[in-house]
Amino acid sequence: MNEVFMLVKKLYKDSGGGINKVVMNRSSSLANRGYNATILTVANFDVHETNKVLIKANKMNKKVKHINLYDYYSKINTKSNISRKQKKYYNLSSILYEQGFQVYNNESKNYTEYFQNGQYIKKKKWHKNGLLHYIDYFHESKKRVKREVFNLLGYIDKIIYYNLYNRYKSHIQHLTADGFCFLDIWYKGEDILDKYYLFNRNSKEVKQFLSPANFHSHWLEEITSNCKHKPYLICDKRMFAPVVRDIKANVHKIYAIHTNHNHRKNIEFSEINTILNHIRSLEQVVTLTEKQKRDILKEYGDYNNISVIPHSIPEKPKITEKKDKHLVTLVARLSSTKQIHQAIDSFKLVIDEVPNAKLEIFGAGKMRTSLEKQIKDLNLTNHVFLKGFTNDTNRIYQKSIVSLLTSKSEAFAMVLLESMINETPVISYDINYGPSDIITDGLDGFLIKEDINTLSEKIIYLLKNPNKAVEMGKIGRKNILKKYNDELVTKMWIDLFKNLKDNDK
């Protein structure tokens, strides 16, 4: 069976951003077509709980494997289940009022502080569900020296040690369920990694790595070397491009570009350059649009190693919601790149013509406070609403008469597909890349220059002509189903795999 690995930093219970959605969609489609699809993650998080939530929400296919770096090394170094000693320690540690301590309990923030004769000894932090999260221990100078972090199953899976003099982490020990330290990570400053020590319980061997990239490459070699046939490794996170390049195992290496390289190319040492500056020596690069491929070829040269595979819509959602002819929607991360403030500014002009108009903005991010202030300053609190993060984009788009995309930069913009598949036309800035590949201006949406007045004019037009918006939405759904359906896009990936395999012959 053909093995396909997809490398990202982590998976999120709420499915996370666009890349996570894309990876889960792609892995599911390939698994359904007979491929042994595996998602690889390198961050330290609760893999079991995340998988459970994603599978229950039908966001992860049960056929897809998820291998996490920390979980991988923990499992191969575990000999037994949680011991009685560990269970006893957790039960004793979970006691709120311990004998011999004066206790301050902050119920609202779920933590408890412990004192002896006025000296601060330790602090316990609890999860909202009442389980113990961690215990901090303090020196007599009130500086933290150690933190014991408890797994949800009730054992210590991580111990963090702190430098007494500068309060930074000195090293972190990662433990198995039965208490064996399989990984010790050392630091030499504020979050500056020094070295990794990887311990093998059976062979007694200790490996040292002087950078995260070296450690990650070693792990990927272990994973991919066990395959019967030469596997395919898709690097879906540009920060891991050097890691993948360093792998010496016999594997097909594919670098997927999910971002706009032009927007980032002038940033010194930008992560996208870790791919493009080495494009001559890379086996295969995948872009999302033909236009981006052309621009890369023009700027970096043609080495016959770039393919174009767009994102797909894995489902055909049923239209169940009734359109609100006054409702405009914008779904985006609340960041400066998304230029949401321009959408809000435009709405000041919109309500002069359509007093009942509403703009609902879905997303989370650092810009929320400034956007709240902008809404208040423009007296738009009855018209513009920050609704927070959502997973239910189908229902949201179906209720809207039109959606907006005001980003200064995109590589593809999945929100365009998600809006149009739900029969909602998009008014989008005509930026690189994505909008002009997806939207046919005037037919199933509008492509406009980055201008608040033009944006407000198009919003007003569709709000005053809801029948036209509905007509455009129906055309848009047909176009998306034709050009970006899951079967078509998955075939592109399979064809790419076959070509790489044929090149080996």
Transcribe 194-239 into DSSP letters.
EEEEEE-TTT--EEEESSHHHHHHHHHHHHHHT-SS--EEEE-SGG
d(CA 161, CA 139): 12
Q: Is the pLDDT of residue 273 over 80?
A: no
- Helix axis angle, 18-32 relative to 414-421, nearest 10°? 70
Q: Rounded mean pLDDT of 367-380?
A: 97
d(CA 398, CA 319): 7
Q: Is the pLDDT of residue 264 over 70?
A: no
Beta bridge partners of residue 400, listed in sequence order: 324
Phi, psi for 396 (deg, rounded to 5): -65, -45
Q: Rounded mean pLDDT of 97-122?
A: 96
Q: Rounded mean pLDDT of 429-455?
A: 95
Lowest average pLDDT, out of 48-52, 181-185, 421-425, goes to 48-52
pLDDT at position 226 is: 84
pLDDT at position 83 is: 85
Q: Rounded mean pLDDT of 99-112?
A: 95
Structural domains present in the chain: 3-76+213-308 (3.40.50.2000), 84-199 (3.90.930), 324-484 (3.40.50.2000)
Q: Is the pLDDT of residue 269 over 80?
A: no
Q: Please state the pTM of the whole predicted model.
A: 0.90
Q: Is the pLDDT of residue 271 over 70?
A: no
d(CA 178, CA 191): 28
Q: Which amino acid is it at 419?
A: S
Q: Is the pLDDT of residue 263 over 60?
A: no
